[in-house]
Every structure is written in structure tokens, then in C-alpha cells.
Amino acid sequence: EIVLTQSPATLSLSPGERATLSCRASQSVSAYLAWYQQKPGQPPRLLIYDAISRATGVPARFSGSGSGTDFTLTISSLEPEDFAVYYCQQRNNWPNTFGQGTKLDIK
Amino acid sequence: QLQLQESASGLVKPSQTLSLTCAVSGGSISSGGYSWSWIRQAPGKGPEYIGYIYHSGSAYYNPSLKSRVTISIDRSKNQFSLNLNSVTAADTAVYYCARSRDGYAWVWGQGTMVTVSS
């Protein structure tokens, strides 16, 4: 099973700042990586798939990059509604696996 | 707009079977190109794929749960189901159903909390 390690565990930033979240895979997942956003009491929401493609309706301030084992989610300028937990997920090898999450909170 | 709704489950006793149903509305479960997934999330943890099924009935399970899991589909009722037997406290989680495509979960239900306790 592929293990995804996300860093940092918690990221404290202010609105307007740039956020950079990392996801590292225990082996190559090619470009088959997604990012989800989860707010309290809600299911995860797909933001980015295939490492770089934004899902429908996702604002352009969210961008993904990377391939192989190292991936990044960047939020260019944080809005108040962006403070949440973010998970990466790979689908290169079954079982699909998720990371343990990065909590983005308000500084 | 597609919506998924998990049936309420609540409390399950250890060693018993957890059974959930996901009702699909606003779209057909027989639509090609999609799979129908069960994903769970233990408190404070990342989500975990349990398995998925195609409208044909072909199902795929997480190897860590394979011996205890069955996912089935009922096209006449536009729903799919999860059975997880011999549950323990480690199965306590929020259980989500989702419509997946290309291995990603695009549309999620709101989730239902299942607690395993005597």
C-alpha cells in the first residue's frame, strides 16, 4: 500500500498570505494524485485531480503541481473560507490511499 | 444535481455486522464511466477507501478489509450497500458513500457516524 505523508501537520497563516502544502508518496504515483478540502462536519471536497487539474467550480487561487513522489498544493492568496483540513489521495495503486491531512488555520 | 444519502446506522455491537445503504438521486446508478464507493474516516484521521462497485456488479475491496466486506448494487432501487462483518471498535468512523470517476471521489454523501460499542 502506498503511504502518503503530508507536511506540515498544521499551517498557521493569515488571510491574503500564500499557502504551500506538501504531499510525499512512499513510491511513485505518476500524476495520479488529488487534493481534497474538508471543513468540520462536511465530507471532503475534490479540489485538484491528476496533480494539476482543478475540479469544476474550484477557484483559480488553488493550484497543484508535482509528479512521481512529491506534490504541492498552493493557495495563492488565502480567503477566510480556505481555512480547513486538506488531504491528498493517490489512485495509481489500489487501494487508493489518503494522507493524514494538513490543517490550515488562521494565525 | 446528483445527491447521495447514507442510511443511518448509529450503534453496532462488537462482532456484529454493520450495514449501510446509499440512496442515489438526481442521476442513475447505471450510468457508465462511474464507480460507487464506500469511504470511511475514523475520528481525527484521514479517509480510508473501503471499496467500490460498478453498475455491472463488479466490486473491488481494500485488501485490509477484504475478508469482512461486501458491497452490492441494486439498480432497480438506484442504491448500493455496504456490509462489514465482525466489527470491532477500530471500525468506529464516519462512513461516506461517493460517486467516483478515474479513482477520485467527485460527489460525496454527507456521511453517517457508526460507533462500535457494547
Q: What is the pLDDT of residue B32?
A: 85
| Residue contact A46–B62, C-beta within 8 A | no
What does the pLDDT average to over B57-84?
A: 96
| B54 lies within 8 A of chain A by CB | no
Which DSSP letter does residue A96 get?
P
| Residue contact B104–A89, C-beta within 8 A | yes
Residues of chain B with C-beta less than 8 angstroms from the C-beta of A36: 47, 105
pLDDT band at A63 (very low <50, low <70, confident <90, very high): very high
Interface test with B, best of A96, A100, A102, A103 (most B CBs within 10 A): A96
| Residue B55 scores a pLDDT above 80 | yes
* 3-class SS string, A22-90: EEEECCCCCCCEEEEEECCCCCCEEEEECCCEECCCCCCCEEEEEECCEEEEEECCCCHHHCCEEEEEE
Determine whether A61 is exposed, middle or buried from the number of CB atoms within 10 Å of its CB (0-12, 13-18, 19+).
middle
Q: Which of A1, A34, A99 sits opposite B104 (nearest CB)?
A: A34
Identify the CA nearest to B20 among candidates B58, B89, B72, B78: B72
Beta-strand ranges (E) seen in chain B are 3-6, 10-12, 18-25, 35-41, 48-53, 59-61, 69-74, 79-84, 93-101, 104-108, 112-116
pLDDT band at B116 (very low <50, low <70, confident <90, very high): very high
Residues of chain A with C-beta less than 8 angstroms from the C-beta of B64: 1, 95
